[in-house]
Amino acid sequence: MTQPDLTIIIPAYMEAAGIADDLERLHDFLKTRDYGKVEVLVVVPESPDGTAKIAESKAKLFEQFRVVNAGPRVGKGRDVRLGIFEARGKYRVFMDADLATPLEHLDDVQTAIKNGAQVIIATRNLWSIHKGLLRKMMSKFGNVFIQLLILPGIKDTQCGFKAFEAEAAEEIFSRQTMLGWSFDAEILKIARLRKYKIVAVEAPDWHDPKKANMGLVGDSPAKAAIQTLLDTIKIRLNVWAGVYRKPSYTHKRIYS
């Protein structure tokens, strides 16, 4: 099989309500672009709503498509890492299943690729995406804390739209230790430690189709904020302890 130029990785837990429409939207969009050969991977942990089966029903829309069974639910970080290592593309981008970051930003990724970028991230306007003053302030404070402690200059670590050159992806994700929501900040810190330049593309049109919590843990924004702070401190301690100097994860392909 010819190596794809781009792999699109979609972690999808309990996405039965929207995954069919979103894959159709992705198919329609890709028909309007020339990104070379594109592979699409939908990574599904055990989802009793039938997400995997629905995703598999859309396989014929794409030249190269797989649903990757991730097994019992662990966290988004585990699912993205699995997709990174199951991917074959020269570049690998992961995006949220609800397409919260408009697909047009794949054009920005392509431009960055042509300019030699190895790590590309979308960044949102954190003040505008949250509803309510408390949520806005907590989000802003959380990002300031992350910048001060581990990632100065990156104004949004959590947007679910990031791309990596294949070799950089495998080097970074092989050092990943956090398997939940905080993995975004961790992989960006690892990228910095490995001397990869992080190229940011603006996504002011990011939207939340589900109108769900923007928090990352449970239903409580306060709980999410506290967990973010604790995880950020843990990443800082991991750096001091040299945890990221060597790979800690090896992968055996599910599909050879």
| pLDDT tens-place string over residues 163-174 | 999 999 999 999
Structural domain contains residue 250: no
**Could you give the C-alpha distances from 239 to 212, 214, 229, 235, 236, in angstroms and in order?**
33, 27, 16, 6, 5
Cα torsion through 112, 37, 80, 236, rounded to 10: -30
Structure tokens at 171: 């080097």
CA–CA separation, 244 vs 194, rounded Å? 9
Structural domain contains residue 211: yes
Average pLDDT of every residue of the chain: 90
Q: What is the pLDDT of residue 211?
A: 54
Q: How much is the average pLDDT of 121-136?
A: 66
**pTM for the predicted model, two decimal places:** 0.91
CA–CA separation, 89 vs 82, rounded Å? 14
Q: How much is the average pLDDT of 121-139?
A: 65
Q: How much is the average pLDDT of 102-125?
A: 95
Structural domain contains residue 252: no
Q: How much is the average pLDDT of 72-93?
A: 97
Q: 7 or 141, which is more confident?
A: 7
CATH number of domain containing 85: 3.90.550.10
**Range(s) of the domain holding residue 17:** 6-245
Structural domain contains residue 254: no
Structural domain contains residue 256: no
Q: What is the pLDDT of residue 129?
A: 54
Instruction: Provide the number of structural domains found in the chain.
Output: 1
CA–CA separation, 100 vs 113, rounded Å? 22
Q: pLDDT (tens digit, 9 = 90+) per residue, 202-241?
A: 999 988 776 544 444 444 666 777 888 899 999 999 999 9
CA–CA separation, 155 vs 215, rounded Å? 17
Q: Of 70-79, 160-169, 183-192, 202-211, where does mean pLDDT reach its minimum?
A: 202-211
